[in-house]
Structure formats: C-alpha cells, structure tokens
Amino acid sequence: MHVRRMLFAAAALLLSAAAACDETPVNLPEATSVSVAATEMKMTVGDAAPMAAQVLDQQGRAMSGGSVAYSSDNPSVASVDPGGMVRAISPGTANVTAAYGSVKATARVTVDRDERALVKTLDVLADSVSFDVRAGTQTLVVQGYNGFGQPVCPSLTVRSSDPSVVTAGPAGGCRISVVPQFRGTATLVVQADRGADSVRVRVTSDGALAFVSSRPAASEMFAGNTVTYGVKVMDSAGKPFAGRAVRFDVSAGTLSALTGTTDSAGVVTVKWTLPTDLRTLGNYQTFFFRTVLPNGLVGGGNDPAYVNPGPAVTLSMVQYTSSGLTPLAENSTLSLPLYAFAYVGAAAADAYGNPSTGVSFSYTGPGYTCGTFQLGGATLLCVYSYSPGTGTLTASAGEVSKSVILAFHD
C-alpha cells in the first residue's frame, strides 16, 4: 500500500509539471508611443499652456501610472515644468519634448511678442519735403508709439516708390536718412511692426540753394550736450558762395550765435547746446536756418533732431503690480509666489532728472527672466520661477548699479 501511494504521488507531480510546461506566458502592456495635444503651439510672451502628453500602449490606449519627463531645447524662449506646463518666455522658437522611457513626442513652440509692445502708430514728422539734388543726405524724424501708448524708437524699414529719384534708410535715433538722386517726385513709406506712414519727396535742381552740410551723430544728441551744425550755400552754378549771411534758430536750447557768414567753402558753423529738461520740452527738437540766396530768393530749411537723455547718474529699484510702480529699497528682499510672473526693474535718470534708458539686468537664482519693457519711465524685467529659493537681481545704468533679493515661495 505504501508503495502504491508513492507511485500515485509521483504521477501527480509529473502531470503538474507537464501542465506547467503547456501554460502560455502573460504579456503585460508596453508603451509604444507618446501623444501630445498639439505638435505646433503658438504662444505670446507671458502665456502658459499644458502640453497634455499621454502614454499609449500597443493598442493605442492611454496607460496610467509612470511619469513623463519634459524638457525644452530652448528654455529662454519656452520653458516646461515637471507637470508639462509650457510657459512662453521670449520671442523665438523651441522644441518641447515629452518622454516616457525610450518613446517620446515633441511640440514645436513659437513665441511671439506681447502685442502691446509692438509699434501701433508711426508718424514721419513731415508730410512733404523738397530737396535739391546737390544737397546730399538729409534726415527726417520719425515718431513711434507702442500699444502701451509709450514713445519708442523702433527698427524701421523704408521703401521708395522711385529709387531713381530718392533713396532712404534708417539712420538710428528715430531718424531716417534721405538721399536725393535725380529731379522728380517720389513717396517714401516707413514701417515698423503695425505702424506705417509716408512722406512725399520732391527733388529739384533749380539754381542756388542752402542746406545742412554737416550734423552731429545721433550718439551726440543728448540733453545738455553741445553739438555743431554746418550750413552750406551754393550759387546757381553749384559753386560755394562765400560771405553769405545765414541766420539760425532752434526750438529749444541755446546757440553760440544767431547769425554767421559763410567761408571760402561756402560753409558756416554754429554750436547748439541742447535743452536739458526733456520732460517738459520733449525729445523732438529742430534746428532752423535762413539766408538770402544769390538769385535773390530766401533759402533755408530745418533739420529735425531727437534728443536723448544724458548718461544715467541715479538709479532706483521698483516693482510693478496692479497698483502701479512701487519703490524698492536697495538690497531689500521681495517675496514672490511661484508660477506667477513678477515685474521688477529700475528707473534711471540723468543729471537733469530726465528718465534715462539703457538699463541692463543680471539675475542669478531660481527661475527664468522673460523679457523687458518700458513703463512710466522705468525699465521692467519679467521674472518667474516654479522652484522655491532666493536670487539676486542687479540693475545697471552707466556707472550706477543696485540690487534686490527675490525670494520665491509656495
């Protein structure tokens, strides 16, 4: 009996082993792809949108569990946090990737500027002008305003309806250079972002003329500086006219003389000390000249100029909130929430109290900077972070610099 039980037990073991060999293995689902809501994302600086990535199995079904790793190849343009939230930092393009193991999907993110920062209106400060073909390069002032209603000096493009009559191009400092080529009439169209304006140009060659033969560079045109203008008078044969009296005037500031006499080259020079109070008088000023030409006609003209603030000598840190601009003490600590755009910057002024441009920033700490803009005489830097910690923001203008501490918290 004992032997029989042992044989039955052995047979049972053999049958169990055979059954185990015939059992089919169970295949657990594996991720075969990652899907994102959109492979192209159009955003504006300051926007935030989820990437909405899903991990799919072999049957195309969404899988739960596990974690997706997000990354951006250009975080200064578009960053992405661990939860897949994409944030538009500055204009440009970036590729944001969602990866699950070896499978991944990428979305191309295109970031545009805040529409409010674009030029909305543009005005050439002359409806029509007339130049003699021999006068050489002349300048016209262009005035631009952005969507905030602030004056700006944008990058300009200029197109001539007839380049054989007149050509033109940007000259910096809110000015365009105009070059008469041949007698005739043409239209110049000036554009910047959403703004455009035009000016009608008539080019003549009708005898004697007087014109500005030399003018200061745009870099010299700042409050309180003294600059030199030259005016040349030519007779009907195109030869310099010596001994000709020329009268001068300016819209603001002071002149070294109100009259002058041309030399043997037909040129007379005068010095203009530019105005200092640009807050009251404005940046756009004009130099005027008049003379009696050899043919008995009165000749002359005006040369528009853009006056910049002088070098910065004072600097104060500020923060922009819904209440407006708030002063910040130097080296003070500013408490800021995570996942929110903060606007911190500085207001610089020259020796005469004019709001000064040219403020630059350096930032070390958590998060990113997301562009600058001008508001109320201050230059503001956009900063945000999704990681707690402290950083230092330093503003510099000319020889002056100040810092504040940014403390990001949950």
The lowest-confidence range among 18-22, 58-62, 172-176, 311-315 is 18-22
Which structural domain, as residue segments, surrounds residue 252?
A: 207-308
Indicate whether 167 and 246 sit together in one domain.
no
Q: What pLDDT sits at residue 343?
A: 92
Total of domains in the chain:
4
Tens of pLDDT, residues 106-156:
999 999 877 777 889 999 988 898 888 888 888 999 999 988 788 888 889
Contact 101, 30 (CB under 8 A): no
> Could you tell me which residue, 30 or 158, shows the higher pLDDT?
158
Q: What pLDDT sits at residue 272?
A: 98
26 lies in a domain? no
Indicate whether 188 and 216 sit together in one domain.
no
Residues 6+ apart with CB under 8 A from 1: none
The sign of the torsion formed by the CA atoms of 159, 209, 126, 185 equals negative
Residue 7 above 80 pLDDT?
Answer: no
User: Mean pLDDT over residues 285-310, rounded?
Assistant: 87
H/E/C letters for each residue in the chain? Answer: CHHHHHHHHHHHHHHHHHHHHHCCCCCCCCEEEEEECCCEEEEECCCEEECCEEEEECCCCECCCCCCEEEECCCCCEEECCCCEEEECCCEEEEEEEEECCEEEEEEEEEECCHHHCEEEEEECCCEEEEEHHHCCEEEEEEEEECCCCEECCCCEEEECCCCCEEEEECCCCEEEEEECCCEEEEEEEEECCEEEEEEEEEECCCCEEEEEECCCHHHCECCCEEEEEEEEECCCCCECCCCEEEEEECCCEECCCEEECCCCCEEEEEEECCCCHHHHCCEEEEEEEEECCCCCEEEEEEEEECECCCCCEEEEEEEECCEEEEECCCCEEEEECCCCEEEEEEEECCCCCEECCCEEEEECCCEEEEEEEECCEEEEEEECCCCEEEEEEEEECCEEEEEEEEEEC
pTM of the model: 0.63
Q: What pLDDT sits at residue 202?
A: 92
Indicate whether 302 and 324 sit together in one domain.
no
- Planar angle of CA 393, 395, 397, nearest 5 degrees: 170
Tallying the residues shown for the chain, one arrives at 410
Identify the band that residue 227 occupies on the pLDDT scale cut at 50, 70 and 90: very high
Residues 6+ apart with CB under 8 A from 12: none
> Could you tell me which residue, 190 or 15, shows the higher pLDDT?
190
> Could you tell me which residue, 18 or 200, shows the higher pLDDT?
200
Indicate whether 236 and 189 sit together in one domain.
no
Indicate whether 228 and 303 sit together in one domain.
yes
Residue 319 above 90 pLDDT?
Answer: yes
138 lies in a domain? yes
Q: What pLDDT sits at residue 11?
A: 47
> Could you tell me which residue, 160 or 89, shows the higher pLDDT?
160
Of 62, 88, 112, at which residue does a domain stop?
Answer: 112
Indicate whether 266 and 291 sit together in one domain.
yes
> CATH code at 211?
2.60.40.10
18 lies in a domain? no
Measure the CA–CA gap between 146 and 195, rounded to whole angstroms: 9
CA 46, distance to chain mean position in Å, is: 15
Of 254, 288, 308, at which residue does a domain stop?
Answer: 308
Measure the CA–CA gap between 379 and 359, rounded to whole angstroms: 7
Measure the CA–CA gap between 80 and 368, rounded to whole angstroms: 11
Contact 380, 117 (CB under 8 A): no
> CATH code at 108?
2.60.40.1080
Sole residue written with tokens 């073991």: 13
Of 112, 129, 149, at which residue does a domain stop?
Answer: 112
Average pLDDT, the chain: 87
Q: What pLDDT sits at residue 133?
A: 82
Tens of pLDDT, residues 365-409:
998 888 888 888 899 999 989 889 999 999 999 889 999 999 999
